[in-house]
Chains A and B, each alone.
Chain A
Amino acid sequence: AQKITQTQPGMFVQEKEAVTLDCTYDTSDPSYGLFWYKQPSSGEMIFLIYQGSYDQQNATEGRYSLNFQKARKSANLVISASQLGDSAMYFCAMRDLNQFYFGTGTSLTVIP
Chain B
Amino acid sequence: DTAVSQTPKYLVTQMGNDKSIKCEQNLGHDTMYWYKQDSKKFLKIMFSYNNKELIINETVPNRFSPKSPDKAHLNLHINSLELGDSAVYFCASSPGGNQPQHFGDGTRLSIL
Taking Cβ atoms with an 8 Å cutoff, the residues of A that contact B are 31-33, 35, 37, 39, 43-45, 47, 50, 52-53, 89, 91, 93, 95-96, 98-100, 102, 104-105
Residue pair A100, B101 in contact (C-beta under 8 Å): yes
- Interface residue range, chain B: 20 to 34
Nearest-CB distance from A89 to chain B (Å)? 6
Shortest Cβ distance from B102 into A: residue: A47
Bound together, the chains give a CA A105 to CA B94 distance in angstroms of 21
With contacts A32-B98, A98-B55, A100-B33 taken as known, whether A39 is within 8 angstroms of B41 at the C-beta atoms is yes
- Chain A residues with Cβ under 8 A from B92's Cβ? 45
Bound together, the chains give a CA A48 to CA B33 distance in angstroms of 19
Interface string of B46-85 (1 = CB under 8 A from A): 0010100001100000000000000000000000000000
- Chain B residues with Cβ under 8 A from A100's Cβ? 33, 45, 48, 94, 101
* B-side interface mostly: strand
Residue pair B56, A99 in contact (C-beta under 8 Å): yes
Residue pair B98, A33 in contact (C-beta under 8 Å): yes
Residue pair B88, A43 in contact (C-beta under 8 Å): yes
Residue pair B99, A44 in contact (C-beta under 8 Å): no
- Chain A residues with Cβ under 8 A from B101's Cβ? 35, 47, 93, 100
Most chain B beta-carbon neighbours within 10 Å: one of A37, A43, A45, A105:
A45
Bound together, the chains give a CA A43 to CA B88 distance in angstroms of 9
Residue pair B100, A35 in contact (C-beta under 8 Å): yes
Shortest Cβ distance from A34 into B: residue: B98
- Chain A residues with Cβ under 8 A from B108's Cβ? 43
- Chain B residues with Cβ under 8 A from A98's Cβ? 50, 55
Nearest-CB distance from A64 to chain B (Å)? 13
